[in-house]
Chain A
Amino acid sequence: MLKKSQWKLNLGFSFFILFLILLLIQVSLQLTLVFAVSLAIGFTLQKSRFCFTSAFRDPLLVGVTNLTQAVILLLVISVPGFAIAAAIADMANYPLSLYVSPFGVHTVIGGILFGIGMVLAGGCSSGVLMRIGEGFAMQMIAFVGLLIGAFLGKYSLPFWQTSFGEVPGIFLPDKIGWLPAVAVQLFILLVLWKVTRWWQKKQNGVG
């Protein structure tokens, strides 16, 4: 096994990406920008070996919490970040909608199935996409499963909604105001971070 530089392939691929971007610009500037940012997201996910599955799973299975803490940091930035973005957009009359979805029994069942699935598939949805890019056959197979599962899920959601009911989405700032909502969530995240620290210490033992 030899180590060869892949710069030629890289150069070729860079031209291919450039070509795609130039093509997309003809269609829509918004789509082009979204594509560019998601390329950067894929790049960052791979380079920092970011993995949401690992963040949930590794504290339980191997007692490692580094990625859990990184996900908490991601949320600590995102919660006020989204609040500020929404506030500025509101002032500037820029249309911006956040994800506030209704929930019910299907949210809990879905979450549990999703959690089991991501451990078995070796990656959540973003992890599967990133690992397809990394060349893993396993996640390419998982993607086929993801497509079939999503198809089945689409047509069984009405069943869950009608048999168990659904509560309209609760947007915390509507209930308690923006500042308290952000503060409460940051506090919960801080507590979670403390818990991971304690857990890590406990797992590492005295050493």
Chain B
Amino acid sequence: MKDGLKTIYKGPWSYWVGAVILAILNILVLVIRQVPWGITTNIEAWSAWLAKVLGLIQNEDITFEQLMLSSGTYLNLGVILGAFWATLAASQARFRPVKDKKFVLSAIAGGLLMGYGARIAKGCNIGLVLNGIASSSLSGWIFTVAVFIGVWLGSKILLRFLL
């Protein structure tokens, strides 16, 4: 019993417990937000706003107020803060530095590819794999197969350059 309580705030929870809770929370997001959970649409909006602030583009009429009133902003912020809260609750919060320069490069390259890929496909693992399939949309399944091929290619790169 005491160990069980400790697992709740310390973790790790088993994967299937995580899956069941995430499924319920994901449906809750759909009901409250009236649109399924997604991540990269909002990231794209922020990137366009940042580009506008930096003077890279002029023709966008996106404003800071719009972003702060967009539910996507709170979804993304909530995931970051919730994960930080979870590490704090377990007294496991710390800054975790990068070990090697090659991981800095790999992080930037990976982030770029992910951002670009997610925005031309109009979704990521959450918006298209999870919620595309959950919405019974064919695009979700197509994207999932493509991601699997990409991961296979990515694994080859990882074994070749990062190991």
Counting chain B residues whose Cβ lies within 8 A of the other chain, the interface size class is 35 or more
Which of A31, A82, A119 lies at the interface centre, i.e. has the most chain B CB atoms within 10 A of its CB? A119
Q: Report the minimal beta-carbon distance from A147 to chain B, rounded to whole angstroms.
A: 4
Contact call B87/A134, Cβ cutoff below 8 A = yes
Which chain A residues (53-110) contact chain B, with CB distance < 8 Å? 53, 56-57, 60-61, 66-67, 69-71, 73-75, 77-79, 81-83, 85, 89, 94-103, 106-110
Counting chain A residues whose Cβ lies within 8 A of the other chain, the interface size class is 35 or more
With A44-B18, A150-B40, A169-B137 as contacts: A142 and B107 at CB distance below 8 Å: yes
Contact call A48/B143, Cβ cutoff below 8 A = no
Q: Report the minimal beta-carbon distance from B117 to chain A, rounded to whole angstroms.
A: 3
Contact call B39/A46, Cβ cutoff below 8 A = no
Contact call B139/A170, Cβ cutoff below 8 A = yes
Q: Which residue of B lies closest to A172 (CB)?
A: B136
With A39-B78, A40-B82, A150-B44 as contacts: A79 and B110 at CB distance below 8 Å: no
Q: Is A173 an interface residue (CB 8 A)?
A: yes
Contact call B113/A3, Cβ cutoff below 8 A = no
Which chain A residues (88-139) contact chain B, with CB distance < 8 Å? 89, 94-103, 106-122, 124-126, 128-139
Number of A-B residue pairs, CB cutoff 8 Å, is: 514
Complex partner residue of B115 from A43, A79, A150, CB under 8 angstroms: A150
Contact call A42/B81, Cβ cutoff below 8 A = yes
Contact call B111/A128, Cβ cutoff below 8 A = yes
Complex partner residue of B17 from A48, A83, A112, A120, CB under 8 angstroms: A48
Contact call B34/A83, Cβ cutoff below 8 A = no
Instruction: Report B's interface with A, CB cutoff 8 A.
Output: 11-40, 43-44, 46-48, 50-51, 69, 71, 74-89, 91-98, 103-104, 106-155, 157-159, 162
8 contacts between A and B (CB under 8 A): A35-B75, A79-B134, A82-B36, A96-B34, A117-B110, A130-B83, A135-B94, A147-B46
